[in-house]
Structure 1
Amino acid sequence: MATDGPAKTPRITYVTMAPPRPARNGYAVRIQTIGNVLARHSDLRFLVLQRGHDETSERATRERFAADFVDAPPQAKWQKGLIHAMAAATNRNRWMEKYGMGALCEATRAAIEAHKPDVVVLGSLSIYSIKDRLGLTDQRIIIDHHNVESVNYDRMAATRKGPSRIAPMVDARAFRKLEHDVAGVREHWAVSDTDRALLERIMGVEILTVPNVAQPSAFEIDPKGTAPDAPPVIGFMANYEYYPNVEAAFELFRIVPMLREDGPSFEAFAMGAHPSEALKAGAAEAGVTMTGFVDDPRPLFERFSLLLAPIRSGGGTKLKILEALAMGLPVVTTEMGSEGIPIAREDIGIIAESNADLAAACRALLGDRARLAAMGARARTWARSNASLDVLEPTIAASMARIAEDVAAGKLA
């Protein structure tokens, strides 16, 4: 029988599809920042379901968080193809199938049971597809939606041609089913009010906004490149394992030569891990320096005058844009790139759609350095108030307090 008394600190297992440290992409930034806040309000343990074994990531994660890892061994292409085909044939989510069977499933379930969590936070909608096989019930699940997945994959399908459209179309169908199936879990977290409204319309339940925020290190950047007398530098940053980022990079390679035709002299950089040979070749032809992953990006970030992000697909609030704003950099992007961020309303960047208009926006800012510097200062001020850890904390603290009350009342027994 439950007794009255002070609420106990809730035990939380945060199941993710990548390690939170080092944060080399938007997904890792999201789970790292949420993990930082959860650790202050719960007994938190990460459970990382990752492809292969990465000793560096494990060590970096365990230096900051309590964590367990379940590593999926490499699979031959025919094995992946078979698993994906079976999932598609039954309208299941293909991304987690390997963790729903055999030794990987047993190891994942054992890690959860060993921690004895009050609630499990799923760091991807995909993970819900194996929740029964992991012994999880809806009343003990929070889903952290990194974007509206069905919309995300619909957009990716819309920008592709021919047979390459098939995979995202299949994924969109599977995610639409999942979005219907998950409506009854304990809580849903969305990355912005825009995503919250979309998810509420799809699911018909209340969604909480737990906003994407920039890492504290972004606010420590000295935006020297926005100064009126600084050499102009256009920057882009992304992880190139994600198709919308690859697509945006190729758009960047089309815009830069247009801007050089009748614009000011400038340098252009595309930063980030896992660029393909095709991306490297496209960058070289366009006169864009592709850096690959940079261990210490600060010196280069401090040279940037603006971020150019010609985003045509994808979903959710773009962390690369939030981090650029936190660095004090104006952003030139599309409506899709600015989703969930009031760039035009706050005058912290320029929104345009065509490549010609994006080039014109960059030309206008690089040609009016006083305007660019003022815009960058407003960007950092906006980010401090709207995209820092302080913004994330109240909603997560309240969620953990509700869990603690339910544990004390015996509602999760």
Structure 2
Amino acid sequence: MNILVVDRSPPCNLLQGNALIGQHLFRRLRHHQLTLVCPAPAGEIAHYQAELAQLFDAVHLVPRAKPVAALVGSFEPSLAQLGIRQAGSADPAAARALSRCVGQLLRQQSFDVIHTRQLPMAAITGGIDHPAKLLELIDSEALQAARRVRPGAPKTRLRAIAARMIEQRAVRMFQACTTVADADAQMIRSLAPKMPVHVVPNGVDAAYFSPLALPEQPDTVVFTGAMSFPPNVTAVLHYYRNILPLIRKELPQVRLVIAGRDPAPEIAALADDPFVTVTGFVDDIRPWLAQPCLMICPMTSGSGIKNKVLEAMAMARPVVSTRLGMEALEVTNWRELVVADQPAEFADAVLKLLRDAAMRARIGAAGRELVLRRYTWDACAASYDAIYTQLAARRTFTAPLPVYMPGRPGGRAE
């Protein structure tokens, strides 16, 4: 099939979640004719062009001056203006150039499916008159905003209402949608009851993330991830302030390793604790997963599948996670992974695993077996193959809505 992919950023950065998914996915969909349109930093076009040519049959990169995270601001009211996710970085000129590029391609050739990746790019493709438009959402902005609502904080409720309105408007412009988790899919179904919503879990490269024969560091736990990402920052601080003191009462020498790039100042400050290591960027995360006794994922916000959890499980490392950190995974508690939400419960689980090497090995092995059976990139690509086939066979579609473009009279996209 001839597939047009419209992405928010070049899908060739293994350090960024959306790009990581895209790179693994499209490498396995090369049997299709793949055309990519996406923005890229003006000074890095040639670099990305060469790298993306290995994944796509045609690559059209639109220079941008600013990050595109807030192209969701192309909708009114704007999530960016309300402070949801990253704010203040919309690039209206890039948005118009993306619309022109997509329009020109559609005039030149026929595409079986238009695959739009992430909510911000719905402003580019949502209004296109095409019967097979797919919107890929890693997670639901509306669900995340709803989870951030706090009593006595009216702005959080306003943001949740705005996020729901914007996401509803966006998803109804498409004929199908994907998420990585059931909770996000349920939110999307509530916004667009008649639209097919498919749950396609993330995968992991289980050959790359395989067990390593390295000496285990006693009484050590690790958290991995981009340490400027607010949910990761919140998770680590929650563990350090509310869970770790309970563990230290019984195991004073317990160590915490925080492995991930761009640590926020409050994370970097934890390195003042002699029992905490903050690595910053590491070339290879695998040794940092393999040597600690276990991985922790004490998430208190966010949604979707956490790649960090799949990577640890693929390496046969036991994981202790809150429900939010693993809600998209089909696991049995204390078999493939340990689930604990309350600080005391989480601390008890960590202590139990640190004291029992046989249990760690048993849970780690079961986790890897589950990954091999269910959470591979091949399985992810097969799901998208089936969705493409289903969409391309459709002949009915709802009338598209006009797309608001910032800075354009009347707000219509070209």
TM-score range normalised by the length of the shorter chain: 0.7 to 0.9
Q: Distance in 2 between matches of 1:92 and 1:262?
A: 41
1:38 counterpart SS class:
coil
> Residues 223 and 329 of structure 1 are in contact (CA less than 8 Å); yes or no, is this contact kept in structure 2?
no
Q: Distance in 1 between matches of 2:281 and 2:50?
A: 17
Name the residue aligned to 1:128.
122
Name the residue aligned to 1:310.
298
Structure (1 or 2) with the greater helix fraction: 1
Q: What TM-score comes out, normalization by structure 1 length?
A: 0.80
Name the residue aligned to 1:238.
225
Q: Are positions 1:26 and 2:17 aligned together?
A: yes
Q: Which moved more, 1:263-272 or 1:355-364?
A: 263-272
TM-superposed CA distance for 1:288, in Å, is 1.9
Name the residue aligned to 2:189.
200
> Residues 143 and 187 of structure 2 are in contact (CA less than 8 Å); yes or no, is this contact kept in structure 1?
no
> Residues 77 and 162 of structure 2 are in contact (CA less than 8 Å); yes or no, is this contact kept in structure 1?
no
Name the residue aligned to 2:287.
299
Name the residue aligned to 1:319.
307
Which of 134, 139, 142 lines up with 1:150 in the alignment?
A: 142
Stretches of structure 1 that go unaligned for 5 or more consecutive residues are 1-9
**CA RMSD, aligned part only?**
3.6
- Give the 3 Å change call, closer, same or farther, for CA 144–179 of structure 1 in structure 2: same
Name the residue aligned to 1:351.
339
Q: 1:83-232 alignment to 2 at 5 Å?
A: 87=78, 101-102=92-93, 104-110=95-101, 113-114=104-105, 116=109, 117-131=111-125, 136-137=128-129, 139-158=131-150, 166=155, 169-181=157-169, 182-183=171-172, 185-205=174-194, 206-222=196-212, 224=214, 231-232=218-219
Q: Distance in 1 between matches of 2:279 and 2:81?
A: 42
Q: Write the deviation string for residues 215-262 of structure 1: whole angstroms up to 9, x where unpaired.
A: 345533426467xxx634311111133221111121232233432331
Q: Distance in 1 between matches of 2:36 and 2:87?
A: 17
> Residues 317 and 341 of structure 1 are in contact (CA less than 8 Å); yes or no, is this contact kept in structure 2?
yes
Q: Distance in 1 between matches of 2:148 and 2:182?
A: 22
- Give the 3 Å change call, closer, same or farther, for CA 114–284 of structure 1 in structure 2: farther
Q: Write the deviation string for residues 312-370 of structure 1: whole angstroms up to 9, x where unpaired.
A: 01111222112211111111111111212133347122211222321211110010111
Name the residue aligned to 2:37.
47
Q: Distance in 1 between matches of 2:254 and 2:87?
A: 44
TM-superposed CA distance for 1:382, in Å, is 0.7
- Give the 3 Å change call, closer, same or farther, for CA 170–259 of structure 1 in structure 2: same
Q: Distance in 2 between matches of 1:92 and 1:282?
A: 27
- Give the 3 Å change call, closer, same or farther, for CA 377–150 of structure 1 in structure 2: same
> Residues 19 and 57 of structure 1 are in contact (CA less than 8 Å); yes or no, is this contact kept in structure 2?
no
- Give the 3 Å change call, closer, same or farther, for CA 94–284 of structure 1 in structure 2: closer
Q: Are positions 1:332 and 2:356 aligned together?
A: no
Q: Write the deviation string for residues 148-189 of structure 1: whole angstroms up to 9, x where unpaired.
A: 220112223449x96xx83x6554333312332223522111
Q: Which moved more, 1:267-276 or 1:306-315?
A: 267-276
Identity percentage over the alignment? 24
Q: Distance in 2 between matches of 1:249 and 1:55?
A: 36
Q: Which amino acid aligns with 1:30?
A: I
- Give the 3 Å change call, closer, same or farther, for CA 361–157 of structure 1 in structure 2: same
Q: 1:345-384 alignment to 2 at 5 Å?
A: 345=333, 347-384=335-372
Which of 384, 396, 414 lines up with 1:396 in the alignment?
A: 384
Q: Distance in 2 between matches of 1:302 and 1:147?
A: 28
Q: Write the deviation string for residues 179-202 of structure 1: whole angstroms up to 9, x where unpaired.
A: 322235221112134433343233
Alignment coverage as a number of residue pairs: 385
Name the residue aligned to 1:5.
none
TM-superposed CA distance for 1:136, in Å, is 2.1
Q: Are positions 1:280 and 2:268 aligned together?
A: yes
- Give the 3 Å change call, closer, same or farther, for CA 190–265 of structure 1 in structure 2: same
> Residues 80 and 87 of structure 2 are in contact (CA less than 8 Å); yes or no, is this contact kept in structure 1?
no
Q: Distance in 2 between matches of 1:96 and 1:48?
A: 20
2:26 counterpart SS class:
helix
> Residues 212 and 287 of structure 2 are in contact (CA less than 8 Å); yes or no, is this contact kept in structure 1?
no
Q: Are positions 1:65 and 2:55 aligned together?
A: yes
Q: Which moved more, 1:65-74 or 1:54-63?
A: 54-63
Q: Distance in 2 between matches of 1:53 and 1:108?
A: 21
Q: Which amino acid aligns with 1:62?
A: L
Q: What TM-score comes out, normalization by structure 2 length?
A: 0.80
Stretches of structure 2 that go unaligned for 5 or more consecutive residues are 397-414
2:138 counterpart SS class:
coil
Q: Distance in 2 between matches of 1:293 and 1:217?
A: 22
Name the residue aligned to 2:257.
269
Q: Distance in 2 between matches of 1:123 and 1:301?
A: 30
1:393 counterpart SS class:
helix
Q: Distance in 2 between matches of 1:84 and 1:300?
A: 41
